[in-house]
Amino acid sequence: MYYKELFNIDRTIRISILGANGGFGYSLLAQCKLIDKLSVSVVCDIDANATKRILEGLGWDSNNLLICSNLDDIERIISKNGTAIISDPALLPYCPVDMLIESTGNPELGAKIAERALINRQHVGMVSKETESVIGPYLANIAKENGVVYTTVDGDQPSNLIHLYTWIEALGLEIIAAGKSSEYDYIWDPEKDSIKYLANEVIVPEFKNYWTSLNNTEEILKNRSTLLNSLPQYATPDYCEMNVVANSLNLSVDKPELHYPICKITELADIFIPKEDGGILSNTGVVDVFNCLRKEDELSFAGGEFVIVKCHNESVWNTLKEKGHIVSKNNKYAAIILPYHLMGVESPISIFSAVLHNRASGNPNQKSAAIMIGKAERDFNKGETLTMGGHHHVIKDIRPLLMNTDINSKHFAPFYLMSNKKLIRDIKKGSIFSLDDFDFSDSVLYEMYIKSI
């Protein structure tokens, strides 16, 4: 598409951002500064003074910034083309803006503010996948009822994968699987016989035996995993993101743990294919995740996205293979990749699409196709609170899983619904947490979730 024609902006688009002091919010603020017709009219975070310093550091004129505590002050500064800074998110749904961007990662808060904004006919861009994974279908329905857009946001993996998948689907190609790489790469140094993962480095001389060949895919992937068992091989956010994608694209899950092969980008089309063709999948039409394996000077997948397709014509795909595209050894499958996600740098496209064309970047008719759940890795006692925390919003001692939605899954508690909730009974190690295990008496998120199932 010719984007300048598609998004010919002849008016100012006003947005509010909830959760501006995090990485995504900061990257979006920086990007909006480059676009004349995109005004960040309201910024909300718990520390208003820190937010003001961030905006000033990004080039905002301090004379056009006002810390506000009521709607009259907010409306006054916006009328002067300035930016209101607030710490009370309850004000956001009533601000004179076109669209709210929610990026706190707080499921309860995100649910409450997003629902009220939609009812007040503000478009909502949901960056908080934690909220989206629990009640995305519910909020999408609220948006339709009120004639506005609820959407995933470009720059985060779910939205980017939804774009890639639907583009490929529109071309008529048969899709086998869709997924992403986990956030951080496994970097092989053949001179040191080591694998580095973030600040961790392990010496694995045997790894060279499993670097170059995929003649026996499952065996080699198993050996890679075993040799690197001291390093993390899954990440909680991945399950959440694949939950969002499954709901939007009506895809399923091959196994609850997801496969997480440690593999090179060039191996994707030999791995995420049916077992009868040498791959690892028992089913097709699934979401999954891989751990990117590379050398220091090789391209990172950077948390990017992939789709595996069936090669429909031998001559066509031989030509594409000669051009460097990723085709399987048996020439039956290919990987189409988007090896990046640029966070808030890409997000304005979703804002333009919603405000100018009333179109979502995700599926406006999404349904619950999968559910992210949790398995206890120790005994839990009645009265404990399952605290969510850390950069990746984990719940300690709980193993995330992703399962297909069916009649039995309605009994389980979605992973981020049970975050920061108190147990009302003991839970044994190995158990899957259910809705009956928690006190949801003051949970807005729970009320919305129950309405959606």
Residue with tokens 């995700």: 362
Provide the pLDDT for residue 2: 87
Write down how long the chain is. Answer: 453
Is the domain of 376 the same as that of 351?
no
Q: Quick check: 154 and 126 in contact, CB under 8 A?
A: no
Positive or negative CA dihedral for 246, 247, 253, 258? positive
Is the domain of 382 the same as that of 406?
yes
- Bridge partners for 309 per DSSP: 175, 334
Nearest C-alpha neighbor of 400 from the set 253, 280, 301: 253
Is the domain of 109 the same as that of 9?
yes
Q: Specify if 50 maps to a domain.
A: yes
Provide the pLDDT for residue 183: 87
Provide the pLDDT for residue 323: 95
Provide the pLDDT for residue 148: 98
Is the domain of 305 the same as that of 188?
yes
Instruction: Specify the number of domains making up the chain.
Output: 3
Rounded to whole angstroms, how far apart are CA atoms 344 and 102?
A: 12
Is the domain of 319 the same as that of 201?
yes
Q: Quick check: 258 and 239 in contact, CB under 8 A?
A: yes
Is the domain of 310 the same as that of 396?
no
Is the domain of 212 the same as that of 331?
yes
Residue with tokens 């996600």: 341
Provide the pLDDT for residue 325: 96
Is the domain of 21 the same as that of 109?
yes
Is the domain of 323 the same as that of 205?
yes
Provide the pLDDT for residue 212: 81
DSSP letter for each residue of 193-218 = TEEEETTEEEE-GGGGGGSS--TTHH
The amino acid sitting at 415 is F
Q: Specify if 364 maps to a domain.
A: no
Q: Specify if 362 maps to a domain.
A: no
CATH number, position 110: 3.40.50.720
**How, if at all, do strands 38-44 and 194-197 pair?**
unpaired
Is the domain of 240 the same as that of 263?
yes
**Which residues span the domain enclosing 433?**
370-451
Is the domain of 330 the same as that of 253?
yes
Provide the pLDDT for residue 408: 84
The mean pLDDT values, 10 residues at a time, for the chain of 453 residues are 88 94 89 94 94 94 96 96 96 98 95 98 96 96 97 95 97 98 95 95 94 84 95 96 97 97 96 96 98 95 95 95 95 96 94 96 93 98 94 92 92 96 98 97 96 89
Is the domain of 149 the same as that of 167?
no
Q: What is the pTM of this model?
A: 0.94
